[in-house]
Structure 1
Amino acid sequence: MNPINERIPDVVPAGRMGGAAQPVLRIPDAGLILRPWRQEDAPALAAAWQDPAIRQWNRPPTGGVEQARERIARYGRRWHEEAAATWGIARADDDSVLGSVSLGGMDLRQGTAEYIYWVLPAARGAGVALHATNRVARWAFRDLGLHRLELTHGVANTASCRVAEKAGFALEGTKRSATLHADGWHDMHLHARVDG
């Protein structure tokens, strides 16, 4: 390793995230909680994967409840590996699942991560994604200590673009032909928010 690089400390020390339980993040003003996915959520997760809009803009598996259970177990492992943090977005009053928000591609050494989120049809247009995005950003910067969060979405996904802009993620450019979806390669907008 380059001796100069050895003097650069990790932005977030190893173990800060995975050494603790994944927190429940509350959004009282919106009546929402962000909580770790649970095995009993598997039917809701499997059903969400079938939603046409979620399928259009994300790359969910095509499996059923058993594959959803495996994915939920993977979410827990990825937290402890300090590779990703995934929450179910739920109503605070009845705990029903409304969507999902994740920080993937985490690089604690560099202090970066990328947002991934989706919201079920019944909760769209009510600010659920915006509330979840802002709450996770607050946790990522204040509690975990990340420095930069990125959010990418298909350029034709105007709803995600509005969420990014309202959440303070500046548009930095377009990644051409960056993500393969069922209908071909998509250009992606790159937004970012930096702590401080």
Structure 2
Amino acid sequence: MPYLTKPVLAAGALARTAQPVLPTGDGLVLRPWREGDAPDVFEAFQDPVMHQWHIRTADSVAEVRGWIADWQRSWEGERNAQWAVADEVTDRPLGRVALRDILLGDGVAEVAYWTAAAARGRGVAPRAARTLARWALDGIGFHRLELSHAVANTASCRVAERAGFAAEGTRRSALLHPDGWHDMHQHARVRGD
């Protein structure tokens, strides 16, 4: 049965080229992950704040190397795309930004991020999310980018707002964390915002 609409983005919209490096223009760069980043990611995941708001933990640097290998392969699959958010001068990862649950035909993806403890309070996450959104919406042609966070995670709400993601509402009891079910705030940016 034929569809009445055409896909917003065709298969290959991402994978037909190498994953890009995206400078923020203000001291950060979004770049593909490298195996050598594993110790920094492992260190970031030892932080209790990461345990509070993320559902994953890292038990070893070797385990994180496996994550990075998956992140590197995910570009070709066009379902997820992960970037290290690195300092432009030192190249050290300060966090992560990603497009998850990509639906090319619908032109929709979810933006996700985290920031290492030592880099918090410097605007790393909103700058990275803004840069990724600009590239995805204006450069690639996505129509809608969604972003959700636990209602109790007020810092993440500030990131979403500073990155230009409008609040849309609350999804009740939407994500299970180690301390139980959390209501999630829903934010989005659409092409033309």
Partner Cα separation in structure 1 for residue 16 and residue 51 of structure 2: 33
- Given the alignment of the two structures, is residue 9 of structure 1 paired with residue 6 of structure 2, yes or no? yes
Q: Deviations over 1:93-133 (max 9, x none)?
A: 11111000011000001000011111011111111111001
Describe how 1:1-196 pairs up with structure 2 within 5 A: 1=1, 3=2, 5=3, 7-29=4-26, 31-196=27-192
2:95 counterpart SS class: strand
The alpha carbon displacement at 1:55 in A equals 1.6
Residue type at the aligned position of 2:10 = P
The alpha carbon displacement at 1:167 in A equals 1.7
2:109 counterpart SS class: strand
Partner Cα separation in structure 2 for residue 60 and residue 132 of structure 1: 21
Q: Deviations over 1:32-55 (max 9, x none)?
A: 111011000011111212111112
- Alignment coverage as a number of residue pairs: 192
CA contact (8 A) 2:113 2:125 kept: yes
TM-score, with length taken from structure 1? 0.95
Partner Cα separation in structure 2 for residue 111 and residue 52 of structure 1: 35
For structure 2, which runs of at least 5 residues remain unmatched after alignment?
none
CA contact (8 A) 2:44 2:117 kept: no
1:129 counterpart SS class: helix
Identity %: 53
1:118 counterpart SS class: strand
Partner Cα separation in structure 1 for residue 180 and residue 34 of structure 2: 33
The alpha carbon displacement at 1:145 in A equals 0.9
Q: Deviations over 1:134-174 (max 9, x none)?
A: 00001101221100000000001111111111222111111
1:93 counterpart SS class: coil
For structure 1, which runs of at least 5 residues remain unmatched after alignment?
none
Residue type at the aligned position of 2:129 = T
The alpha carbon displacement at 1:60 in A equals 2.2
